[in-house]
């Protein structure tokens, strides 16, 4: 009996040492400021001001005037494996990495090492990451994956919007589009400045548009859900583009909400498993979508379950094949 108890204690301690914390630690001052903001947001006066600013388009103008600088770093080393498989598919990985600066989240270097193992096992052509917030984590992640182009928008001490796109193909144009904020935003979302990182590159002789995004975090029962409008804005941008498109990221939308908003030009990756939650995965919030204006899109995806969870989201992986009209076999 005593021996069994000792074995249980040893196993429990080993598992504890082998696990990362999946819940960010918010400083007490941050919690106090959040409560003060929530109290202010219940004021009729603030709601009136917010409505007037929204109707006058001030929020949209402010977002459009924001033009964060984009940095593109070339690969430090050449890729040692083929950039596409023998089916002609392009491989995409999307992951919310929970990389906040310490002490909000600890063990950044170890988390990145675990994610790098995941990347090496899948060999994706394009990686769309979210929540890479601090510049130290950003540098460590880029160094851990030196055979990719790195696209991001650096700030003083932090990475704008927490987005980082990594790809094996040379980008031609990049732009950061910030979502409008409002006086109803939570303090965390005010600071996050959620955005779309859009990249255009040439793949298989044609232009491919990449969209890496992270939408506002709002539960389905909440009255204020700007993530619905944000996805609509993203869908409108995609609808005005020709050619091939890939969209990935943490949408903070359940499948039922996403399917209502999904434009006809995009197809889902087909993974119906939950991708987010702690200590257990509870909700599907992360997606990869693709579309082809000049033909068809074949996409299949799955959730990736790493041996050690490095984030409160598990990555989503997809293989995408674009078929132009001339390549589609017609029945006799």
pTM of the model: 0.90
- Please enumerate in sequence order all residues whose Cβ is within 8 A of that of 77, keeping only pairs 6 or more positions apart, or say none: 146, 147
Domains in the chain, please, with CATH? 57-327 (3.60.10.10)
**CA–CA dist 178, 243 (Å, integer):** 23
Considering 17-31, 99-113, 304-318, the range whose residues carry the highest mean pLDDT is 304-318
Q: The tokens of 161 are what?
A: 């919007």
Residue 118, pLDDT above cutoff 90: yes
Tens digits of per-residue pLDDT, 243-302? 899 999 999 999 999 999 999 999 999 999 999 999 999 999 999 999 998 889 999 999
The reported pLDDT for the residue numbered 79 is 67
- Taking residue 289's Cβ as centre, other Cβ atoms within 10 Å add up to 29
HSE of 269, CA atoms in CB hemisphere, 13 A: 27
Render pLDDT for 69-81 as a digit per residue (tens, 0 to 9): 899 999 999 865 4
CB 191 within 8 A of CB 212: no
- The token pair at 267 is 């197809």
The C-alpha atoms of residue 128 and residue 114 are separated, in whole angstroms, by 16
What's the pLDDT score for residue 179?
A: 94
What does the mean pLDDT of the chain come to? 89
Q: How far apart are CA 115 and CA 308, in angstroms?
A: 9
List phi, psi (to 5°) of 233.
Answer: -65, -45
Residue 261 token pair: 């908003």
Least confident of 38-47, 133-142, 272-281, 322-331: 322-331
* Helices assigned H by DSSP within 123-225: 135-144, 187-192
Task: Compute the CA torsion angle 188, 192, 194, 198 (nearest 10 deg).
Answer: -160
Q: Which residue has the higher pLDDT, 218 or 328?
A: 218
pLDDT band, very low/low/confident/very high, at 178 (cuts 50, 70, 90): very high
Closest by CA to 24, choosing from 113, 160, 133, 140, is 133
Distance (Å, whole) CA 246 – CA 194: 19
Asked whether the predicted pLDDT for residue 26 surpasses 60, the reply is yes
- Strand, helix or coil for residue 208: strand
CB atoms within 10 A of CB 108: 23
């Amino acid at each position: 009996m005593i021996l069994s108890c000792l074995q249980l204690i040893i196993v429990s301690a080993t598992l504890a040492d082998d696990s990362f914390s999946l819940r960010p630690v918010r400083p007490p001052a941050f919690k106090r400021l959040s409560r003060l903001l929530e109290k202010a947001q219940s004021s009729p006066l603030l709601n009136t001001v917010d409505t007037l600013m929204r109707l006058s388009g001030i929020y949209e103008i402010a977002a459009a005037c924001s033009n964060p600088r984009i940095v593109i770093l070339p690969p430090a080393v050449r890729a040692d494996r083929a950039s596409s498989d023998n089916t002609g598919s392009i491989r995409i990985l999307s992951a919310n990495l929970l990389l906040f600066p310490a002490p909000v989240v600890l063990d950044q270097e170890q988390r990145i090492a675990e994610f790098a193992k995941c990347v090496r096992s899948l060999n994706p052509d394009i990686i769309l990451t979210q929540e890479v917030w601090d510049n130290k984590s950003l540098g460590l992640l880029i160094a851990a994956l030196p055979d990719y182009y790195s696209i991001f928008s650096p700030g003083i001490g932090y990475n704008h919007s927490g987005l980082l796109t990594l790809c094996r193909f040379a980008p031609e144009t990049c732009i950061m589009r910030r979502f409008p904020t409002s006086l109803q935003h939570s303090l965390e979302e005010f600071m996050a400045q959620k955005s779309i990182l859009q990249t255009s590159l040439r793949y298989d002789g044609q232009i491919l548009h990449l969209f890496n995004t992270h939408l506002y975090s709002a539960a389905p029962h909440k009255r204020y859900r700007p993530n619905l409008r944000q996805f609509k804005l993203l869908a409108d941008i995609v609808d005005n583009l020709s050619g091939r498109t890939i969209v990935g990221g943490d949408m903070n939308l359940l499948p039922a909400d996403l399917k209502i908003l999904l434009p006809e030009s995009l197809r889902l990756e087909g993974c119906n498993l939950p991708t987010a939650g702690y200590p257990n995965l509870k909700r599907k919030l992360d997606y990869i979508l693709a579309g082809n204006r000049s033909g068809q899109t074949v996409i299949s995806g799955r959730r990736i379950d790493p041996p050690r969870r490095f984030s409160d989201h598990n990555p989503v992986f997809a293989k995408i094949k674009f078929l132009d009209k001339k390549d589609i076999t017609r029945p006799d």
